[in-house]
Amino acid sequence: MAVQPVAPTYRTPSLFSPFTTLIAAESTRHGGVSSPPFASLNLGINTEDQVDNVNENRRRFFRDINADTFGFASSLQVHGTSVYLATEAGRVEGYDALITNQPGLLVGVTVADCVPILIYDHENQAVAAIHAGWRGTVAGIVTSTLTTMAQQFGTTGENCYGYVGTCIDTTAFEIGEEVAAQFAPDYLRINPNNQRVCADLKSANADLLRQFGIPPTQIAVSPFSTVLHNADYFSYRAEQGQTGRMLAVIGIRK
């Protein structure tokens, strides 16, 4: 009998693989202890899952990415554009992007359709984790984050590597007229099946990375979709709000 491959608990963007001092990862929904509808690697604190399950899932995830000795900084996300400079482990409120240049400290965001963006400034050894829903995307949270990194660390585009992570795909992200009016036409598509307007969050955020000056060869976009690949990723929209959350994290080894 053929042996079924074990589903990965996380994926590391190949963009970052040359950098041995860097840890960067996106979790999947596999390898945890949570029961449906949070099955199984739910890493979201603000869900109705049991706290013990989420804590165990986080322990497994950090162990699997070889970061169990790292501190972890995160925020209660509010779909805004505020950027938090993390200097130590802990959880704050009101920020959708975190930056740090502290070795041994991971920064991360939770997602389940919104876009996670990870940035590495190779020259100044600084990193960022960004949560961008449609509000954060049109408000330019990527630009806000990179501008803050420039102020804090001296970050410039040519020294950065940016990854636009797994999120809802264009064909599934249907939006109304009021939301569509806030996007540039280049990021709008028509679903041929129902003629509804959809937004391309990945392209919009990747363009913000380019506009800051990050070379296209130093930008990567996830090929995965939380909706089309719902067996591997949580999707708030596809699962009607009853689902878990993934983590996207990045940090520099001591």
242: CATH: 3.60.140.10
Q: Residue 2 has what pLDDT?
A: 47
Both tokens of 152, joined, read 């804090």
Domain membership of residue 157 (yes or no) is: yes
Alpha helices (runs of H) in 176-224, residue ranges in sequence order = 177-180, 201-212
Q: Residue 43 has what pLDDT?
A: 98
Domain membership of residue 176 (yes or no) is: no
Query: Is the distance from CB of 4 to CB of 211 less than 8 angstroms?
Result: no
Q: Residue 110 has what pLDDT?
A: 98
Question: Which segments of the chain have a pLDDT < 50?
Answer: 1-4
Domain membership of residue 104 (yes or no) is: yes
Domain membership of residue 63 (yes or no) is: yes
Domain membership of residue 72 (yes or no) is: yes
pTM: 0.96
List 175's β-bridge partners, or say none: none
Amino acid at the residue 14: S
Domain span at residue 248 reads 10-168+219-252
Domain membership of residue 16 (yes or no) is: yes
- Side by side, the strands of the sheet bearing 83-85 are 83-85, 97-100, 126-132, 115-121, 160-164, 219-221
Question: What is the total count of domains within the chain?
Answer: 1
What's the CA angle centered on 47, arms 45 and 53, to 5 degrees?
Answer: 65
Nearest of 252, 107, 248, 66 to residue 164 by alpha carbon: 248
Domain membership of residue 209 (yes or no) is: no
Domain membership of residue 27 (yes or no) is: yes
Q: Which pairs from 52-58 meet CB under 8 Å and 24+ separation?
A: 56/32, 57/32, 57/33, 58/247
